[in-house]
């Protein structure tokens, strides 16, 4: 049973992981590079928990208790006594490798689990950045974390089965998530299927074949998806979509994973979806 969790990187995903964990009674230390990023994370978490209060999922007292269980820090050594660390920084291999090297240095408990929320980077690479690859595992959440029930559990060739078992119990028994097991290849199960679908939608839009609205309506009204592929890309973030596509392409060299030029141009332009208020759609 995990009682002390460290979350490194508190963007959309890290904030969501910290929120659901504190709501389930864990003490959480959130680490971000700057005070400004920590403030954004605190606001995001508060707003999301307030949403839960409004919809009657938790009381005001439970909200206050959950928020009080989260510490916000800029110094990585604040996670030293964590039993589990979840890394959730940007989907950039060099950044994650350097961070895993540092997490390995600061976390004192030799039995601690070092996890990544990576969407696509093989866990083996992250494990080999540490001196304890047997303790490294992928715990991949889905956006929005408080809403989506799924977690992909990814084990590398060197992950100890006890590490995997403890990570599984954390996600299943403590967070109430539904765990599926994936082997360690880029994209794991869900993104290996989802990203080519989204890229196909972008290619369809880019070719002028149909409007963004009609492509999305086709999948919502025709296939009962909660949102269409272009709206979903905006939700995920076009930078993350691009990073996952690149990671898949680099692993498999299959054209279906190659990012279309329009996706590259939108990323270069900073049109990243909801987080920048503009992607395939405009957000206020």
Catalytic machinery residues = 119, 140, 152, 191
Is 55 an interacting residue with respect to ligand 3HC (CB under 6 A)?
yes
196-225 residues near ligand 3HC, rule: CB under 6 A = none
Looking at 26, 230, 232, 248, which residue binds ligand 3HC (CB under 6 A)?
232
CA atoms within 13 A on the CB side of 207: 10
Contact yes or no for 190/225 (Cβ under 8 A): no
According to DSSP, residue 278 is labeled B
**Is residue 16 within a helix (H) or strand (E), and if so which, with residue range?**
helix 12-23
Candidate list 3, 25, 43, 51; residue touching ligand 3HC; CB under 6 A: 51
Give the helix/strand (H/E) hosting 153: strand 150-155
Nearer to ligand 3HC, 69 or 140 (CB): 140
C-alpha separations of 158 from 87, 136, 155 in Å: 19, 8, 8
**Total residues contacting ligand 3HC (rule CB under 6 A)?**
18
Q: Write the binding mask 177 to 196 for ligand 3HC: x where contact by CB under 6 A, - elsewhere.
A: --------------x--x--
Interaction between residue 21 and ligand 3HC (CB under 6 A): no
**Torsion sign, CA atoms 214, 220, 226, 228:** negative
Q: Measured from the CB of residue 257, what is the shortest distance to ligand 3HC in angstroms?
A: 14
Q: Are strands 150-155 and 136-141 parallel, antiparallel or unpaired?
A: antiparallel
The interface with ligand 3HC within residues 90-129 (CB under 6 A) comprises 119
Q: Which is nearer to ligand 3HC, 82 or 240 (CB)?
A: 240
Instruction: Report the residue from 226, 268, 282, 284 that binds ligand 3HC according to the rule CB under 6 A.
Output: 226
Q: Tell me the residue number closest to ligand 3HC, measured at CB.
A: 119
Distance CA 120, CA 140 (A): 9
Which of 168, 170, 174, 176 is CA-nearest to residue 149?
Answer: 176
CB of 166 to ligand 3HC, least distance (A): 22
- Lookup: tokens for 62: 């439970």
The binding site for ligand 3HC (CB under 6 A) comprises 48, 51, 55, 119, 142-144, 146-148, 191, 194, 226-227, 232, 236, 240, 244
């Amino acid at each position: 049973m995990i009682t002390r969790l460290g979350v490194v990187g508190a963007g959309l995903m890290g904030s969501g992981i910290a929120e659901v964990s504190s709501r389930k009674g864990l003490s959480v230390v959130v680490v971000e590079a700057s005070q400004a990023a920590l403030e954004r994370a605190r606001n995001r978490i508060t707003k999301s928990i307030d949403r839960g209060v409004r919809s009657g999922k938790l009381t005001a007292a439970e909200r206050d208790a959950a928020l009080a269980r989260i510490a916000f820090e800029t110094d990585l050594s604040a996670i030293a006594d964590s039993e589990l660390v979840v890394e959730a920084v940007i989907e950039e291999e060099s950044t994650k490798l350097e961070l895993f090297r540092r997490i390995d240095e600061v976390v004192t408990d030799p039995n601690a689990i070092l996890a990544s929320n990576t969407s696509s980077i093989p866990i083996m690479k992250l494990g080999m950045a540490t001196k304890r690859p047997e303790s490294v595992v992928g715990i991949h959440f889905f956006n929005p974390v408080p809403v989506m029930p799924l977690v992909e559990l990814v084990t590398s060739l060197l992950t100890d089965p006890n590490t995997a078992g403890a990570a599984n119990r954390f996600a299943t028994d403590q967070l109430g998530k539904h765990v599926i097991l994936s082997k360690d290849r880029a994209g794991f199960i869900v993104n290996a299927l989802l990203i080519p679908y989204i890229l196909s939608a972008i290619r369809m839009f880019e070719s002028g074949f149909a409007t963004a609205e009609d492509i999305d309506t086709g999948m919502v009204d025709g296939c009962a998806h909660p949102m269409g592929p272009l709206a979903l890309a905006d939700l995920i973030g076009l930078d993350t979509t691009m990073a996952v596509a690149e990671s898949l392409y680099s692993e498999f060299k299959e054209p279906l994973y190659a990012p279309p030029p329009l996706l590259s141009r939108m990323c270069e332009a900073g049109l990243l979806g909801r987080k920048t208020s503009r992607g395939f759609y405009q957000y206020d």
